[in-house]
Amino acid sequence: MATTDATGFARYAWLTAGLSLLFCAAFTLYVWSEKRIDRANDLRHESELLSEELRQSSDDLTHMARSYAATGEPAFRRHYDTILAIRDGRAPRPLDYHIIYWDLVPADGHAPRADGPAVPLLTLMRQAGITPAELALLAQSKASSDRLTGIEQSAMALAAPHADAAVRAQASRMLNDATYHQAKADIMRPIMQFQLRLEQRTDASVRDAKQRAVWARHAFLLAGVLLVTLLLRVLWLLRTTLGASVTTLHASIARLGRGDFVTPITVEPGRENSVQGWLAATRAKLASSDASRAAAEEQVRYLAHFDPLTGLANSNQMQLLARQAFADAGRAGQPVALLFLDLDNFKDINDALGHGTGDAVLAELARRLRAQLAHDDVGCRLGGDEFVLLLRGAGRAEAPARAQQLLAAVAAPCRIEQYDLNLSASIGIALYPDDGTELELLLQRADMAMYSAKHEGRNGYRLFAPAMQAHFTRQLQLVAALRQALGSAQLQLVYQPQVALHSGAVVGAEALLRWRHPELGEVAPDEFIPAAEHSGLIVPLGAWVLRQAVRQARTWRDAGLPPLTMAVNLSAAQFRQPGLPELVSQVLREEGLAPDCLELELTEGVAMHDPHGAVHTMNSLHERGVRMAIDDFGTGFSSLSYLKQFKICKLKIDRSFVRDIGDNPEDQAIVAAIVSMARGLGLSTISEGVETEQQLAMLREQGCDEIQGYYYSRPLAADAFEAFVRARLAAVRLASDDGVSANNRTQARPIFGSARV
Ligand SMILES: Nc1nc2c(ncn2[C@@H]2O[C@@H]3COP(=O)(O)O[C@H]4[C@@H](O)[C@H](n5cnc6c(=O)[nH]c(N)nc65)O[C@@H]4COP(=O)(O)O[C@H]3[C@H]2O)c(=O)[nH]1
């Protein structure tokens, strides 16, 4: 509708402009017509004056001639000549001189007016716009008058100043006889005819002009009325398009210009689609975007201090709140417990159920934690599944109980979406002021304590102890030294034989890493492997081990040793590397070893941490012909369904079940179950940590396939291992030559079993 109004408005505006032009044209025509009337009248008047001048000059000449004839007064004769000279253009024409000559002749005889140009009367007549026919009449009259001047001149010649009375009387008769009168009449007749014609012609043109003026006036009036009507229409349309008066509109725009989006702009009903309506809508939008901007700013302010997922304070805000809490506690002489809480196995939830569920778990966890906090305690989310809680007034006596409450709250049954989850957390506690007065230090120490809690089985809490600090310092020291040691002679591999129970032959070797540091001395793998895993160094370190072990296997094969399987430990971080299968293939290719000579050992925990990913990686390695074994089997929580899917060939029974197998029926039962299950799944078994003959006998009884342990040999340097294998081979051959089982011969006397390398 507004568009229609605007179009109508434009159309009417153009129409109005056109009509205005028409109005002006009509007005101009009217004025022009009126001027034409005036001009015609002026011309008539001027022409009449000129014709009158001709007649009057003739009369004046007659008077002068008669007066001179009667009186002989020379002045009359002079006047006569002057009139004639002016009429013929020989003397200057006095300014404003028309027909009256007498008023130019005052008593003193001086001319009263200034002189103008000398122009003959006929020339003036010609210039006055008189038609040729009319001019011919005046010329005829002028010619008659000129002829009469001949009679007059003759009469005046007779009446010289000293002429006698009879001569003068004769001269006067010449100027009054019938001939003279006839001549005079010849002058007047054409003038009369001229005046008649002039009258008729002028009347006609005046009539014409009047007629035109009437038309023009009517057109002008009509255009005026129409213009006013159109103007009113245009104004109405303008008002409709604007939707309000110009003043109201101006006020509305001025308000918006000032940034006032709050005061509403009123719109008359039905005028929503007008300029005022649009302004009102724009104001509403601006007001709403203003409100959105304010809300966004508020949100930004909120996000600067709070975690949007849980509504808890973020680390920025925690700094402020912690400083406040420590300052208050410092003044009051009270303790503050800083609890560092980390969900156990949260990564599994995220990986298995997705990040959306993970977020829901974190939100639920935050809700539970908040419910446990006193009003002046502080709850923060540092990021991920890490939370920090500041408990005011909680010292060494109270903090453990509070931590226990929090752990219980976390462990309460939890249903997120369709999942029933068992949540647990590990908490590290650092106390203000005992463990530090600075937030940074307390956080670091609580973090250490939390890691200790994780290390010791999770779902628990630990108070910070200085020993932890020593442990972490040692870990840092080891990591730094290990980084230096990478690729140097400090690192060596040793190889522990793996013996087939049924033949007593060495069928494989497990590669084990050794580190001798020039200052730290021999560092145990149980110490430096976790440090390497923690720091990520295990990835390059593991790659180095893999290449060294594969190279050694190839060297032994080239040296003529019987086929052996080289077992290499894979850490969790290595196993998670997306390029692991490619790396393994590359190393085998470059070192020239058949893939089935390599066996990668993966702990049960690592495999079950992300079973989906493990299946994928194992499939890829299996396709490349590489063998896989599960290390430390029995200590984790393998799901049988996954075990079925894993492309493995061997289970390595953990040494904790072997240690007491001779005396402990439970261990015997476990080992029997593992062996039987492995057979069921088509897997072989190897027992580690076999040290005694009794253990060996029990394992043979249970049907275990292979043995690894000090009973046969400690891990050996490469050349010692080679010697071991050759010696064992010779012993086995000798035994078979004697017809005695190699097992019977060798089991009682392990070879190279004396020194740990
Ligand atoms: N008490 C006893 N122990 C025996 C016996 N036979 C062998 N052992 C020890 O048991 C460990 C077997 O290795 P693991 O279970 O893979 O456990 C290994 C493995 O998890 C890790 N590790 C060692 N080398 C590497 C490596 O190159 N890469 C990775 N990722 N981990 C390694 O360090 C752990 C400890 O290695 P080591 O100290 O070499 O300890 C070795 C070995 O010396 C025995 O009869 N009695």
Q: Are 44 and 199 in contact (CB under 8 A)?
A: yes
Q: β-strands 378-383, 598-603: how paired?
A: unpaired
Amino acid at 368: R
User: What is the distance in angstroms between the CA of the first residue and the CA of the last residue of the chain?
Assistant: 97
Q: Are 486 and 536 in contact (CB under 8 A)?
A: no
Q: Residue 195: left (phi > 0), alpha (psi -120 to 50), or beta?
A: alpha
Q: What does the alpha-carbon distance between residue 203 and residue 197 come to, in Å, rounded to a whole number?
A: 10
Mean pLDDT on 110-136:
83
Confidence of residue 468 (pLDDT cuts 50, 70, 90): very high
42 or 322: which leads in pLDDT: 322
pLDDT over 60 (residue 303): yes
Cα of 538 from ligand 1 centre, angstroms: 15
* pLDDT tens digits along 698-711: 999 999 999 999 99
Q: What is the pLDDT of residue 725?
A: 96
Residues 6+ apart with CB under 8 A from 368: 409, 410, 412
Which tokens sit at 621?
């390695």
Confidence of residue 237 (pLDDT cuts 50, 70, 90): confident
Q: What is this model's ipTM?
A: 0.95
pLDDT over 80 (residue 609): no
Q: What is the pLDDT of residue 754?
A: 31
pLDDT over 60 (residue 589): yes
Q: What is the pLDDT of residue 637?
A: 62
Cα of 512 from ligand 1 centre, angstroms: 6
Nearest CA to ligand 1 atom 29: 569
**Residues belonging to the chain:** 757
Domains and CATH numbers, the chain: 30-210 (no CATH), 306-464 (3.30.70.270), 489-541+564-588+595-746 (3.20.20.450)
Nearest CA to ligand 1 atom 38: 525
Ligand 1, closest atom to CA 538? 30
Q: Which residue out of 529, 575, 712, 724 has the highest number of ligand 1 atoms within 8 Å of its CB and is therefore the one to mutate? A: 529
DSSP 177: S
Cα of 655 from ligand 1 centre, angstroms: 10
pLDDT over 60 (residue 378): yes
Residue ranges of the alpha helices (H) in 486-571? 525-535, 538-558
Cα of 450 from ligand 1 centre, angstroms: 27
Cα of 213 from ligand 1 centre, angstroms: 127
Cα of 592 from ligand 1 centre, angstroms: 26
Confidence of residue 755 (pLDDT cuts 50, 70, 90): very low
Q: Give CA separation, 437 vs 314, 329, 440, in Å.
A: 20, 10, 9
Q: Give CA separation, 250 vs 243, 246, 255, 499, in Å.
A: 12, 6, 9, 100
205 or 744: which leads in pLDDT: 205
* pLDDT tens digits along 46-90: 888 888 888 888 888 898 899 888 888 888 888 889 889 988 999
pLDDT over 90 (residue 121): no
Q: β-strands 506-517, 491-500: how paired?
A: antiparallel
Confidence of residue 3 (pLDDT cuts 50, 70, 90): low
Which tokens sit at 543?
């790659």
Cα of 285 from ligand 1 centre, angstroms: 71
Average pLDDT, the chain: 89
Q: Are 642 and 615 in contact (CB under 8 A)?
A: yes
Q: What one-character-per-residue DSSP string does 605-625 give?
A: HHHHHSHHHHHHHHHHHHHTT
pLDDT over 90 (residue 715): yes
pLDDT over 50 (residue 188): yes
pLDDT over 50 (residue 443): yes
Q: What is the pLDDT of residue 5?
A: 59
Write the burial class of residue 187 (CB in 10 Å: 0-12 exposed, 13-18 middle, 19+ buried).
buried
Mean pLDDT on 210-225:
88
3-state helix, strand, coil in the chain (%, to 5): 60, 15, 25
**Which three-class secondary structure state does DSSP give residue 381?**
strand
Amino acid at 91: A
Mean pLDDT on 7-32:
86
Q: Which residue out of 496, 512, 695 has the highest number of ligand 1 atoms within 8 Å of its CB and is therefore the one to mutate? A: 512
Mean pLDDT lowest among 74-78, 476-480, 603-607:
603-607
Cα of 717 from ligand 1 centre, angstroms: 14
Q: Produce one character per residue of 668-677: b if its CB has 16 or more CB atoms within 10 Å, e if not.
A: bebbbebbeb
381 or 223: which leads in pLDDT: 381
Nearest CA to ligand 1 atom 33: 525
Mean pLDDT on 577-597:
96
Find the Cα–Cα–Cα–Cα dihedral 23, 29, 34, 39, rounded to 10°: 150
Among 47-61, 265-279, 568-582, which range has the highest average pLDDT? 568-582
Mean pLDDT lowest among 255-259, 546-550, 659-663:
255-259
Element (H, E) at 228: helix 178-242
pLDDT over 60 (residue 117): yes
Q: What is the pLDDT of residue 743?
A: 44
Ligand 1, closest atom to CA 511? 27
Q: What is the pLDDT of residue 744?
A: 44
Cα of 604 from ligand 1 centre, angstroms: 15
Mean pLDDT on 11-38:
88
Nearest CA to ligand 1 atom 46: 689
Confidence of residue 33 (pLDDT cuts 50, 70, 90): confident
Q: What one-character-per-residue DSSP string does 247-298 give?
A: HHHHHHHHHHHTT--SSPPP--TT-TTSHHHHHHHHHHHHHHHHHHHHHHHH
Nearest CA to ligand 1 atom 20: 569
Q: What is the pLDDT of residue 638?
A: 65
Pocket lining for ligand 1, CB < 6 angstroms: 496, 512-513, 524-526, 529, 542, 545, 569, 571, 631-632, 688-691, 709-710, 715
Mean pLDDT on 507-520:
97
Nearest CA to ligand 1 atom 39: 512
Nearest CA to ligand 1 atom 3: 689
Q: What is the pLDDT of residue 107?
A: 56
Q: What does the alpha-carbon distance between residue 609 and residue 295 come to, in Å, rounded to a whole number?
A: 43
* Inter-axis angle of helices 132-158 and 178-242, nearest 10: 140
512 or 178: which leads in pLDDT: 512
Is the pTM here over 0.90, yes or no?
Answer: no
Q: Produce one character per residue of 223-254: b if its CB has 16 or more CB atoms within 10 Å, e if not.
A: beeebeebeebbeebbbbbbbbeeebbeebee
Confidence of residue 37 (pLDDT cuts 50, 70, 90): confident
pLDDT over 80 (residue 751): no
Q: What is the pLDDT of residue 523?
A: 97
Q: What does the alpha-carbon distance between residue 526 and residue 421 come to, in Å, rounded to a whole number?
A: 33
646 or 642: which leads in pLDDT: 646
Mean pLDDT on 230-246:
86
Mean pLDDT lowest among 206-215, 312-321, 422-431:
206-215
3-state DSSP of 548-593: HHHHHHHHHHHCCCCCCEEEEEECHHHHHCCCHHHHHHHHHHHHCC
Q: What is the pLDDT of residue 757?
A: 32
Residue ranges of the alpha helices (H) in 660-711? 665-681, 693-702
Q: What one-character-per-residue DSSP string does 716-741 give?
A: B-HHHHHHHHHHHHHHHHHHHHHT--
High-pLDDT (> 70) share of the chain, %: 94
Instruction: Classify the C-alpha dihedral 114-120-126-132 as positive or negative.
Output: positive
pLDDT over 90 (residue 29): no
pLDDT over 50 (residue 408): yes
Ligand 1, closest atom to CA 654? 15
Nearest CA to ligand 1 atom 2: 689
Q: What one-character-per-residue DSSP string does 434-459 give?
A: TT-SSHHHHHHHHHHHHHHHHHTTSS
Instruction: Classify the C-alpha dihedral 737-743-744-750 as positive or negative.
Output: positive
